[in-house]
Amino acid sequence: MDPAEPGKNAAIAEPVLAPGHSFGSVTDKISAIVLTRGTGKKWMGGFAVAIALLLMLNFAITVLFARGVGIWGINIPVGWGFAIVNFVWWIGIGHAGTLISAFLLLMRQQWRSSVNRFAEAMTIFAVACAGMFPLLHMGRPWLFYWMFPYPDTMTLWPQFRSPLVWDVFAVSTYATVSVLFWFVGLIPDLATLRDRATTKVKQVVYGILSMGWRGSAKHWKRYETASLLLAGLATPLVVSVHTVVSFDFTVAIEPGWHSTIFPPYFVAGAIYSGFAMVLCLAIPLRKYYGLEDFVTLRHLDTMAKIMLATGLIVAYSYLMETFMAFYSGNPFDRFMIMNRMFGPYALAYWILIAANLVIPQLLWFSKVRRNMLSLFLVSLSVQTGMWLERFVIIITSLQRDFVPSSWGMYYPTRWDWMTFLGSIGLFFTLFYLFIRFLPMISIHEMRELVHKKEEEQAA
Amino acid sequence: MASIARNQLYGLMAEFGTPDDLLKAAQAAREEGYRKFDAYSPFGIEGLAEAVGFPKTRLPVLVFIGGLIGCSGGFFMQWWANVVGYPLTIGGKPYDSWPSFIPITFELTILCAALTTVIGMITLNGLPLPYHPAFNVQRFALASRDRFFLLIEAADAKFDLSETRDFLESLRPEEVSEVEA
């Protein structure tokens, strides 16, 4: 406790913006990364790795389209393999970006200003990766438009009572709203880049994208109203998306899926893995681009605490799931949980428990939260854990359900792995392009933050 | 700077160094009787829109209507498809099993409201706008960095080149410049 300011601990006293910054200095520093810094060697190296993984994805998808989903390890009974595991994992990662940009805006959390832009970019790229998997998983992906309601010659309509159709609407709405939110946030910053462009080409491109934004007071008024409205719309949306994803499971009667705890449990898990991804991106970014003034220890500490809190909700859900399996007296549920813990996929379950529940408890210690390396490793562990969670939920429930005669095993093939690792390549390719060509921190919100700090000091 | 011919003049622009100065200047211009003027800043400033005479935007009403259309249209689409267009018994449920139509109704409400928000904000703002006279002033590029501008249009009834210039000078700006149309 700081004796001068009772009720404020050291973490709160730490600034969300290092002192000494002006409107000009934040603008120059962030726009210089895009405009004058140039393409660094480390950027090229990272981009090359990402592109290599992306090429591998292209190869895996080409073979998939040529030969069909039989090249994957899926079978009957395990019809949902890596594709659905990856889908749920990626869409969950996206949720933290929306939460930071929308929910924290409504809550007037000032610290969000310097992390929301790249968190939103993360959301869009994660949703792009997620959206790819159900399409690949369709036996005939070129007929994907059958999922949408359109007046076709057969007078058929989608079955709107099916959670899988709900999912189509939830994910496509989520993708659209995330892109809108991101673009609206970018408009004033694109204008800044246009006004500070070093070459004619940049000036024209950023000029077209910024649509002639000139910072008029009337425009700002509508702009801020629109941001607030979008935040209000995106907050319930983000909760609904993972709820609908969990309906894909929980509306079915499979043991281990058919449970009312799924919607909140999935939403908490999504935020958990999303914040882990934000930290995994923020820690190297702030170091490499020298953004320690903007993304301070306060940010990382706060995000680590959110991760810990959502992690505890996830832990509670695991506990309740296990408890209910026995308490319900349902022999299939009881068998399912025993099969998870001691069946053929027990290793995945116990690594999940270690990575998702045990290791993140280190975040109780401020030393772990404030050490970049340890925080990065814990975040990585959470992401591994969350991927395994979806693997365990999907595979173990399908693999042994009610009748032993319909049991089977699932073994991912190299095509499964190549598609999974390739989607990480797709994500990072998009992300590398983003940090090279667009401001990764919202410049106008940073100027506003400087203004607010000045007002606070004057008051 | 050479003086611009009267018919080619869009207005007079004053540059300020702080958001407070701009806010005070905008309030003063309003009290002085000017109506056709605008203020430009690198970020939204509280109270500035009111000072330039723009207290309220219609956007929330439009968004509400957009949401309403998404909600009713979304529900009706599902109800028509699964009750009238292609009725099919699923799990012994009645055709009109409306609770299962709620998730998509909700998603489409959000989708239409969000699209209205963004398209509404952009079109009400008159964007995309390829040309605006304000950009003819070279220092206006700093409006997206750290400078604050007040622009009184020549079309204002009270506008008079020398009087308006004197008025703007009285606000202690860093610079007053003529804006070419």
Q: Is B103 on the interface with A (CB under 8 A)?
A: yes
With an 8 Å Cβ cutoff, are A157 and B81 in contact? yes
Helix (H, G, I), strand (E, B) or coil at A358: helix
A449 to chain B: closest CA residue: B43
A236 vs B6, residue with greater confidence = A236
A455 to chain B: closest CA residue: B20
Asked if residue B75 belongs to a domain, the reply is yes
For residue A257, name the pLDDT band (cuts at 50, 70, 90): very high
Contacts of B115 in chain A (CB under 8 A): 176, 180
Residues of chain B numbered 105-144 and touching chain A (CB < 8 Å):
106-108, 110-111, 113-115, 117-118, 120-122, 124-125, 127-132, 134-135, 140-144
B147 and B64 in a common domain = no
For residue A5, name the pLDDT band (cuts at 50, 70, 90): very low
Tell me, what DSSP letter sits at residue B26? H
Find, among A436, A419, A420, A426, the residue nearest to A50 by Cα. A426
Chain centroid offset of residue A12 CA: 26
Model pLDDT for residues B24-53, shown as the tens digit of each residue: 999 999 998 889 999 999 999 988 999 988
B119 and B72 in a common domain = yes
B93 and B73 in a common domain = yes
The pLDDT of residue B102 is above 60: yes
Domain boundary among B78, B101, B124: B124
What is the CATH classification number for the domain harbouring B159? Answer: 3.30.70
B110 and B27 in a common domain = no
B110 and B152 in a common domain = no
Q: Average pLDDT of A254-272? A: 92
CB A299 within 8 A of CB A114: yes
- Fold held by A18-147+159-454: Formate dehydrogenase/DMSO reductase fold (1.20.1630)
Q: Average pLDDT of A146-168? A: 89
B119 and B150 in a common domain = no
Domain that includes residue B111, residue range: 59-124
The pLDDT of residue A11 is above 70: no
Percentage of residues of chain B with pLDDT beyond 70: 96
A387 vs A401, residue with greater confidence = A387
Asked if residue B1 belongs to a domain, the reply is no
B68 and B52 in a common domain = no
ipTM over 0.90: yes
B136 and B51 in a common domain = yes
Instruction: Tell me how crowded residue A432 is: count the other CB atoms within 10 A of its CB.
Output: 18
Asked if residue B28 belongs to a domain, the reply is yes
B10 and B44 in a common domain = yes
Find, among A432, A440, A450, A447, the residue nearest to A116 by Cα. A440
A277: which 2 tokens? 């991804």
First to last CA, chain A: 24
B24 and B109 in a common domain = no
Overall number of domains in chain B: 2
